[in-house]
């Protein structure tokens, strides 16, 4: 079998089950691919080659076991904000430079129990704050389609690794777009599940009312396989939902006849690149040709999503990041008193963007400003959520662009935080509403990938995956590979 690194998870599953391939062969092929491409891509912060080989051997040894799940023997990689017992977890930050978690996140436990092989930990913006992965304290990840461009962020390593064939699937996290925007910019598929669908126990928190863990892979069908393993109630996460988990693969019927697809005019924002709009509208036309009913809708509060998000997310971040004091986690800067040590550790070891968010959050939460900013933002958030409730009375899913632009140049937006924040205008509302969002590749503009975003009702990931898969049966954008 040639080019094992181009296999989809579905394809690898078939080959493994038929005995045409061993997990160790597949793992070795991906480790070789990582070695070949990583000097240019720089997606990994930690590579756990030996542990991966061991897990692959164990998967091969238990091949006859009838209980093995969809990811048994499949090599994956993990964004470095998710705790992995015994494996360094940095959040892309110097403040956790040497942090080795004593326990694994629930999602890691589920993957391991399901026999998945973990190749390592992936680069991201520091504490998942950013849209380009340039805010990592360690390295800049290149976009596999054009190494002078960003892979998007904050899960840029997770998207670049899939696009360059370094892992068959990865985990990312999405607080305001961090799975979907990099998936779009790297030409891969990515899913932000409903808030509460996947346990966040062991995820190092950024914005706790917004954060969700989700998969990235080449196809919607592959995402369905990963979600199947991740989804479900976890008593260790108080926000995890008890909603039943459907059979996601069984939902992939290829049939979207009668599916009502809403297209919100507000998402075709001013300044959107014409090539992005064109590719998005062409993708919606494909769904219509397959029998979906396309309906123009309005989500009038969309324009408030960006300011609302940039009040709420930093407020939550400022509270969540208070625990990093150099006393309990990570390295400590020397100082004369405990307070000096804390100040120096936080001052030197948090990057500029993280410090900016902590200051913004502390400000909007402070007495006298709380009502004007934080409370107000929460009220507007309710209106944004209501927009979606009203829309979903008329339509089954919503189709929209993911990012107003294709991948931008490394360095292009690093001096302008507001320009960087604007990258997320089409993805933030989905987190504020807590609903699920899927991205599938839908074409190219100026040689760079564009992603179609599909938005669903709470806990209806199945309809999104069905529509995304139906689209991929009709198109071949998801099969295009960058030259590396
Ligand atoms: N880019 C957005 C931010 O910086 C979203 C990040 C994310 O989803 N983690 O907050």
Which CATH number belongs to the domain containing residue 124 in this structure? 3.90.1300.10
In a domain, 212, yes or no: yes
Candidates 131, 136, 154, 199; catalytic one: 154
Q: Among this protein's residues, is 93 annotated catalytic?
A: no
For the CA of 129, the nearest atom of ligand 1: 4
In a domain, 63, yes or no: yes
Q: How confident is the model at residue 1 (pLDDT cuts 50, 70, 90)?
A: low
Using a 6 Å cutoff on CB, does residue 154 contact ligand 1? yes
How far, in Å, is the centroid of ligand 1 from the Cα of 210? 10
In a domain, 466, yes or no: yes
Q: 276-297, pLDDT tens digit by residue?
A: 999 999 999 999 999 999 999 9
Using a 6 Å cutoff on CB, does residue 212 contact ligand 1? no
User: Taking residues 370-381, what's their average pLDDT?
Assistant: 96
Structural contact between residues 185 and 448, judged by C-beta atoms closer than 8 angstroms: yes
What's the Cα-to-Cα distance from 2 to each of 6, 26, 232, rounded to whole Å?
Answer: 9, 11, 36
User: Taking residues 154-176, what's their average pLDDT?
Assistant: 98
In a domain, 322, yes or no: no
Average pLDDT over the chain reads 97
User: Taking residues 120-143, what's their average pLDDT?
Assistant: 98
Q: Read off the pTM.
A: 0.98
Candidates 131, 178, 240, 423; catalytic one: 178
H helix or E strand, kind and range, residue 215: strand 212-217
- Backbone dihedral region of 2: left (phi > 0), alpha (psi from -120 to 50 degrees) or beta? beta
Say yes or no to pLDDT of 58 above 70.
yes
User: Taking residues 190-215, what's their average pLDDT?
Assistant: 98
In a domain, 68, yes or no: yes
Q: How confident is the model at residue 68 (pLDDT cuts 50, 70, 90)?
A: confident
In a domain, 202, yes or no: yes
Give CA angle at 205 (203, 209), nearest 5°: 110
In a domain, 272, yes or no: no
Using a 6 Å cutoff on CB, does residue 174 contact ligand 1? yes
For the CA of 310, the nearest atom of ligand 1: 10
Using a 6 Å cutoff on CB, does residue 182 contact ligand 1? no
In a domain, 339, yes or no: no
If one compares 216 and 64, the residue with the highest pLDDT of the two is: 216
Report the pLDDT value the prediction gives residue 66, as an integer from 0 to 100: 63
In the chain, the number of structural domains is 1
Domain carrying residue 88:
4-262+393-479
Q: 229-273, pLDDT tens digit by residue?
A: 999 999 999 999 999 999 999 999 999 999 999 999 999 988 899
Report the pLDDT value the prediction gives residue 64, as an integer from 0 to 100: 72
Q: 326-365, pLDDT tens digit by residue?
A: 998 889 999 999 999 999 999 999 999 999 999 999 999 9
Report the pLDDT value the prediction gives residue 65, as an integer from 0 to 100: 66
Report the pLDDT value the prediction gives residue 461, as an integer from 0 to 100: 98
């Amino acid at each position: 079998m040639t080019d094992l690194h181009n296999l989809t998870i579905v394809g690898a599953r078939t080959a493994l089950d038929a005995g045409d391939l061993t997990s160790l062969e597949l793992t070795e092929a991906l480790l070789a691919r990582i070695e070949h491409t990583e000097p240019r891509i720089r997606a990994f912060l930690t590579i756990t080659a030996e542990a991966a080989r061991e897990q692959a051997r164990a998967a091969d040894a238990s091949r006859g076991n009838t209980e093995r799940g969809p990811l048994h023997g499949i090599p994956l990689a993990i964004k470095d904000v998710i705790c992995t017992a015994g494996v360094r977890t940095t959040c892309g930050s110097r403040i956790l430079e040497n942090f080795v978690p004593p326990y694994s996140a629930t999602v890691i436990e589920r993957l391991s129990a399901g026999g998945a092989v973990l190749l390592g930990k992936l680069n991201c913006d520091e504490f998942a704050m950013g849209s380009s992965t340039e805010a990592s304290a360690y390295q800049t990840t290149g976009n596999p389609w054009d190494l002078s461009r960003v892979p998007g962020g904050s899960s840029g390593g997770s998207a670049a690794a899939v696009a360059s064939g370094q892992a068959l699937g990865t985990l990312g996290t999405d607080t305001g777009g961090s799975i979907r925007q990099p998936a779009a910019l790297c030409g891969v598929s990515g899913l932000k599940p409903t808030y509460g669908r996947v346990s966040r126990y062991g995820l190092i928190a950024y914005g706790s009312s917004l954060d969700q863990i989700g998969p990235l892979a080449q196809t919607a069908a592959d995402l369905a396989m990963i979600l199947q393993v991740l989804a479900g109630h976890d008593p260790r996460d108080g926000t995890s939902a008890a909603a039943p988990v459907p059979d996601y693969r069984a939902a992939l019927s290829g049939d979207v006849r009668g599916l009502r697809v809403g297209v919100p005019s507000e998402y075709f924002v001013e300044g959107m690149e014409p090539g992005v709009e064109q590719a998005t509208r062409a993708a919606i036309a494909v769904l219509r040709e397959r029998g979906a009913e396309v309906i123009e809708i309005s989500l009038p509060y969309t324009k408030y999503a960006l300011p609302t998000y940039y009040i709420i997310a930093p407020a939550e971040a400022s509270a969540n990041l208070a625990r990093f004091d150099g006393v309990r986690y990570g390295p400590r800067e020397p100082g004369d008193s405990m307070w000096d040590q804390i100040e120096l550790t936080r001052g030197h070891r948090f990057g500029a963007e993280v410090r900016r968010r902590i200051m913004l959050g502390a400000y909007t939460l402070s007495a006298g400003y709380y009502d004007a900013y934080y409370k107000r933002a929460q009220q507007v958030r309710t209106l944004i959520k209501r927009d979606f409730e009203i829309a979903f009375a008329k339509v089954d899913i919503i189709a929209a662009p993911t990012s107003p632009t294709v991948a931008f140049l490394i360095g292009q937006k690093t001096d302008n935080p507001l320009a960087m924040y604007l990258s997320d205008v089409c993805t933030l509302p989905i987190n504020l509403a807590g609903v699920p969002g899927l991205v599938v590749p839908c074409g190219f503009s100026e040689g760079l990938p564009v992603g179609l975003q599909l938005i669903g009702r709470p806990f209806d990931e199945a309809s999104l995956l069905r529509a995304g898969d139906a689209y991929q049966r009709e198109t071949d954008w998801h099969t295009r590979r960058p030259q590396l």
